[in-house]
Structure 1
Amino acid sequence: MPNFLFYFLILCCGTGFLVHKNWTAKESSGSSRPVDFKKFQKNYLFVYFCVMAGDWLQGPYVYALYSSYGFDQHDIAVLFVAGFGSSMIFGTFIGSLADRFGRKKFCLLYIVTYIASCLTKHVNSYSVLMLGRLLGGVATSLLFSVFDAWMINEHNARSFEGAWIGETFATAIFGNSCVAIAAGLVANFASEIAPLKNLRGEDFATSNDGGVFKGGFCAPFDVAILVLTLGGAYIQNNWGENFGHSSGGSVGADDTIKVLKKGFDSIVYNPSILLCGMISSLFEGSMFTFVFMWTPALQPSAGEDETLPFGLIFAAFMVACMAGSSLFTVLSKSLPIEEISKYTFVVAALSLFVPVITTSYNLIFVGFLVFEGCVGMYFPAMGTLKSKIVPESQRSTIYNIFRVPLNVIVLGVLLTKMEMSTAFFCCSAMLATAAACQFKLVAVLKEKDDSKGGEGGAVDEGGDEESLLH
């Protein structure tokens, strides 16, 4: 078995070095950001960390809770498939509504929807749990679209420098990794305070019916509700509203379809947006596949009588992600983000090819850590690229359309029993394709820049919306 503690400590030292390098570089350059920007950034990041904590708190306990209720592996798999299917179908429409009626409202809708999903976990009823998965799928689509859309719109509306968006994304990813580690510890503590029992005090084994349960694996969901409520209250009191499409008025099915069609047209007829969407789907599809596959990939290293130190491995992954976001901050000071992204995808493809060509668990684990580092670099880089390329009026709509092929990939992984080496080969191939798309995207942006006489670099291609459709 690999010495997971050794790798964790090495990562902590490396991450500490990168953080110190960033801090000293900022201090020596004297390039302090304006007070207004710092206030805006904190205003966004507080909410972002709350909503991500709500997600991290419950994530590790969903399968465990379903299993505790006595459902078999097939029943649980159907619940997971329903969640991703819901995200794929309903999330696409919800994104277009957020652009029209306001991103703040739909950030609050995320809070309400995810709290409702958490509440369903207390009921040992398959139909109620299915409803919870459907609500959770909708909430996931909102989480990864409307919050970014709100922040980018506010950033631009306040006339902050475009390059500072990357700083906000990098800080968000770094902090999110810290939140994930803390959430794991809190959730573990909460789940052990009291055993899982129904309201009459009976545990599952002695209960004669389904009923409503509390304690045990339900507790992390209750903590998530508290954190989400805090985030929702902060949004309500401190965030302003912003829109993509003009606000006001009622909207019917025809209007929603028109908005979706416009979003699809913007993707199809603008090579930059299309490539951006392909890259997002391929990378994040590989990332979700990795989430499902890393445990069976490493489990044999523990032998028959031992279990993997899951908490330590997860913490190592999160620190690697923190190192990646810190490295992005260092590199972005001297390299264009488009260039950083190219080599991030190449390294990611190579890292997940390691399990295909070797059975050395030390090498496999190092490959996994490198991939997590690439994840830490990917999110701030892609967040910045999408902020430049995707038109503001359709941002939430297009972000959710990007998630459709991602959910198709995830559903394919859930429904297909692939060998481990085959799954990682597919991941590596998707990442290599993403790298090729990124090289093409750089060429497209350069060609567009040259055609404008070199003005402004890789600017927002969504500025002239009508030109996208011709």
Structure 2
Amino acid sequence: MSMCSRKHCSTAIVPERLLTFHFRVTICIVSNSQPSYNEPYFKDYGILMLGRLLGGVSTSLLFSVFESWLIRAHADAELPKQCLAKSFSWAAFGNSVVAITAGLIANNIAHAGPMTPVTDLIYKGGYLNPFDLALVALLFCGFGARFLWEENYGDADTNGEQSNGKGRVKWYDGLRNAWTTTVRNRDIFLCGIISSLFEGSMYIFVFMWTPLLKSFLKAGDDDLPFGLIFATFMVCCMTGSSLFSILVEKFPVEKLAVVIFAVGAVAMAIVAMEINETMSFLGMNLFEITVGMYFPIMGTMKGGIVPEDKRAAIYNLYRIPLNFIVLFSLLTDLTPSISFTLNACMLGVATLAQSVLTKRRLETTGQMKDTNDSIPLLEPKGSEDVDAPPPV
């Protein structure tokens, strides 16, 4: 549903309310994922699938609508162009801080007591305790957004399109127009390929780092402190976002992306070789640093490449090949070594694709003496909409 209408992916706010709006959108979208937390308590496959379905919907909203609204908010508030990169950098940094705290708390409360059955179908305690705490946090977010903040309805549709004769665009028109724009514009297409390859490797990493580290355990060794390891990864992500905020002042995001993807490919190759547990763990941490830099880099690049009126729909299209990559990895039952080798190959392809995209952007924007030249500013609220895709 987040793909369907331009007015759902743009908003108009005044500068002094931009920060409040940022927090409000974040809380509202995260609150949408609340129903998916109910499924771990039930030993029933149907409920499990329902929870995953709801979690998938909320994840799609989180990774598309939030960026769409944030980019539009910067344009409507007429903020300096470099503020967009800074906003994404601070968002990645804050996300890492929260994740570190959550990982440490989850690790402690997960071992507070064993998981025990309440009935044959319902369980409690143990590894379910972090889900209890997450549910409470999400409820507070939902109530806070509902009662403390004013509603934001976004822009009205002003282009006069009436696909069904009732003044409303049909739900599939947004997706169809987004597809047409993506395949006709090489920059948008390359951006989607790159994001799908990197994020696909990231999700495969999420699934596979645990079995790989477990494979190094010897008989009699204690179980791994998963919460502490996760917190370590998030520290690396925070480091990456901090590095981005420094480097973006000197280099265009397109050139930074080429280096980051290449470093990520090397990191995955180190993990895939399985030299020893230390080298594998160091390779994982190096990859997490690139993850921390990736999100502000890609958010900034997409902000300057993807057209505003189709942004949310195109962002959701980008997630389709990503899901196929993850499904392929899971359904083929690949070993950790092969999975990380696949990651290294995908990141290598992403590096080549980013090199092509960087060359095209250089030719389009000139020498890109600073980062601002590579981030075109959107037209503020009230400007005339342009439905045609950017020239190839």
TM range, smaller chain: 0.7 to 0.9
User: What one-letter code is carried by the residue in structure 2 that aligns with 1:137?
Assistant: G
Query: How far apart, in 2, do the equivalents of 1:45 and 1:379 lie?
Result: 18
| Map 1:239-254 → 2, pairs under 5 A | 240-243=152-155
Offset at residue 445 of structure 1 (A): 1.3
Query: Are 2:283 and 1:367 aligned?
Result: yes
1:148 maps to 67
**CA offset at residue 128 of structure 1?**
1.9
2:46 is aligned with 1:40: no
1:228 to 115, 119, 138: 138
Counterpart mapping for 1:51-450 below 5 A = 51=27, 107=28, 111-112=31-32, 114-191=33-110, 196=115, 203=117, 207=119, 209-210=120-121, 212-236=122-146, 237-238=149-150, 240-243=152-155, 255-306=170-221, 307-357=223-273, 359-450=275-366
Q: Answer yes or no: is the 8 Å Cα contact 1:169–1:380 preserved in 2.
A: yes
SS of 1:435's equivalent?
A: helix
Unaligned runs of 5+ in 1: 1-35, 52-106, 198-202
* Residue type of the alignment partner of 1:404: I
Contact kept, 8 Å, 1:41 with 1:168, in 2: the verdict is no
Cα-to-partner distance string for 1:391-431 (whole Å, 9 max, x where unaligned): 11111111110000001011111111223322111101100
Residue deviations 1:344-379 (CA, integer Å, cap 9, x gap): 011111111113345132222211111100000000
The CA distance in 1 between the partners of 2:350 and 2:151, in whole Å, is 35
Q: Does the 8 Å contact 1:153/1:242 carry over to 2? A: no
- Structure 2 counterpart of 1:98: none
Residue by residue, what CA displacement relative to the aligned partner does 1:313-332 show, whole Å, maximum 9, x if unpaired?
22221111111111111111
> What is the alpha-carbon distance in structure 2 between the residues aligned to residue 365 and residue 192 of structure 1?
23
Q: Any conservation in 1 of the 2:361–2:374 contact (CA below 8 Å)?
A: yes
Structure with the largest fraction of helix: 1
Distance 1:177-1:450 versus aligned 2 partners, 3 A rule:
closer
Instruction: Return 5+ residue gaps in structure 2 as ranges.
Output: 1-13, 380-385
* Counterparts of 1:219 and 1:250, CA distance in 2: 50
RMSD of aligned Cα (Å): 3.1
Is the Cα–Cα contact under 8 Å of residues 356 and 425 in structure 1 kept in the other structure?
yes
Change in Cα spacing, 1:337 to 1:301, as seen in structure 2 (3 Å) is: same
Question: Which SS does the other structure have where 1:418 is aligned?
Answer: coil
C-alpha distance in 1, partners of 2:101/2:132? 16
1:242-290 alpha-carbon deviations (Å, 9 max, x no partner): 2595599998798222211110011111111111111100000000111
| Partner Cα distance (1:410, 1:419) in 2 | 14
Residues 1:46 and 1:321: Cα distance change in structure 2 (over 3 Å)? farther
Residue 239 of structure 1 deviates from its aligned partner by 5.5
**1:346 and 1:435 in contact (8 A); partners too:** yes
Shift of 1:38: 7.7
Q: Secondary structure at the match of 2:41?
A: coil
- Displacement of 1:461: 9.7
Partner residue in 1 for 2:388: 466
TM-score for both structures, normalised by structure 1: 0.70
Q: Which amino acid aligns with 1:393?
A: D
Identity %: 38
With over 3 angstroms needed to count, the CA separation of the structure-2 counterparts of 1:294 and 1:196, relative to structure 1, is closer
Given that 2:181 and 2:389 are in contact with CA atoms closer than 8 Å, whether structure 1 keeps it comes out as no
Distance in 2 (CA, whole Å) between partners of 1:348 and 1:402 is 20
Matched length: 365
Deviation at 1:41, TM superposition (A): 3.2
**Partner of 1:413: helix, strand, or coil?**
helix
| CA spacing shift, 1:373–1:245, aligned 2, 3 Å | farther
Show CA shifts across 1:164-186 (max 9, x none).
11111111111111111211233
Write the letter of the residue equivalent to 1:266: T
Query: Is the contact between residue 354 and residue 364 of structure 1 (CA under 8 Å) also seen in structure 2?
Result: yes
Match of 2:198, SS state, is helix
